[in-house]
Amino acid sequence: MDTETAELRLLEAAEALFDERGVQAVGMDAIRTASGVSLKRLYQLFPSKDHLVWAVLNRRDTAVREAIAAHGARHAGTPYERALAVFDYLGAWFADPGFRGCAFINTFGEMGGISPDVADIARGHKQAVREYFAEQTTALGAPTELADQLALLANGAMAVAGINGSPEPAAQAKNAARVLLDAALTP
């Protein structure tokens, strides 16, 4: 098996197991078994579990950023619509039967206090989501704090949806976001 295939199998297996069980509950042997990659090869590619966790989160960060931007580009024409489209994207994600909450929130909760790398990537991801909102609100001429408020709604919806197992928090957060956007844009 070539390096690229082994790495992809390991990342996919680790991501699925971490989502299902949590990072600390999953050992490297379970990842080896689920991926079909030898333990020796696993450790050649990822010398420690921390390296693997970081790689999984880095991959997820890229995928989520791209998905949010693509969803906004496909389903919304104006910055106002693109800001609200984030909540539609979240609703579809929350409705997925495999949804177990935000990987960044969950992993930060497990490891953020003991792993500076996990804390950094989780903070960076959340900042990127906030920056996406800031691009939209800046284009609307809205106050800068509106991006923080929209990001807070999105992250709150992620946490509640993960706990409740329901996509409804996305719609509730979208309704609240609309109220905030409308209030910020009313002269």
Region at 96 (left for phi over 0; alpha for psi -120 to 50; beta for the rest): beta
- Confidence at residue 113, expressed as pLDDT on a 0 to 100 scale: 86
Exposure string of 156-183, with b = 16+ CB inside 10 Å and e = fewer, is: ebbebbbeeeebebbbbbbebbeebbee
Residue 63 main-chain phi, psi, to 5 deg: -65, -45
Residue 76 has pLDDT above 80, yes or no: no
Q: How many domains does the chain have?
A: 2
The answer to whether residues 91 and 34 belong to one domain is no
Which of 59, 153, 61, 49 is closest to 110 using CA atoms?
49
The answer to whether residues 90 and 164 belong to one domain is yes
What's the token pair of residue 60?
A: 């997820």
31: three-class secondary structure by DSSP:
helix
Q: How far apart are CA 166 and CA 10, in angstroms?
A: 29
- Confidence at residue 57, expressed as pLDDT on a 0 to 100 scale: 97
Half-sphere exposure of 138 (CA within 13 A, CB side): 6
The mean pLDDT value for 92-119 works out to: 93
The answer to whether residues 125 and 162 belong to one domain is yes
pLDDT one-digit tens code per residue, 106-127: 999 999 889 999 999 999 999 9
Q: How far apart are CA 74 and CA 128, in angstroms?
A: 20
* CATH number for the domain harbouring residue 18: 1.10.10
* Residue 165, domain extent: 53-185
Exposure string of 84-101, with b = 16+ CB inside 10 Å and e = fewer, is: bbbbbbbbebbeeeebeb
The answer to whether residues 83 and 37 belong to one domain is no
The answer to whether residues 36 and 82 belong to one domain is no
Which of 121, 124, 94 is closest to 107 using CA atoms?
121
The answer to whether residues 104 and 80 belong to one domain is yes
The answer to whether residues 43 and 119 belong to one domain is no
The answer to whether residues 8 and 98 belong to one domain is no
Q: How far apart are CA 33 and CA 187, in angstroms?
A: 60
The answer to whether residues 135 and 114 belong to one domain is yes
* CATH number for the domain harbouring residue 82: 1.10.357.10
The answer to whether residues 143 and 180 belong to one domain is yes
The answer to whether residues 102 and 177 belong to one domain is yes
pTM confidence score: 0.91
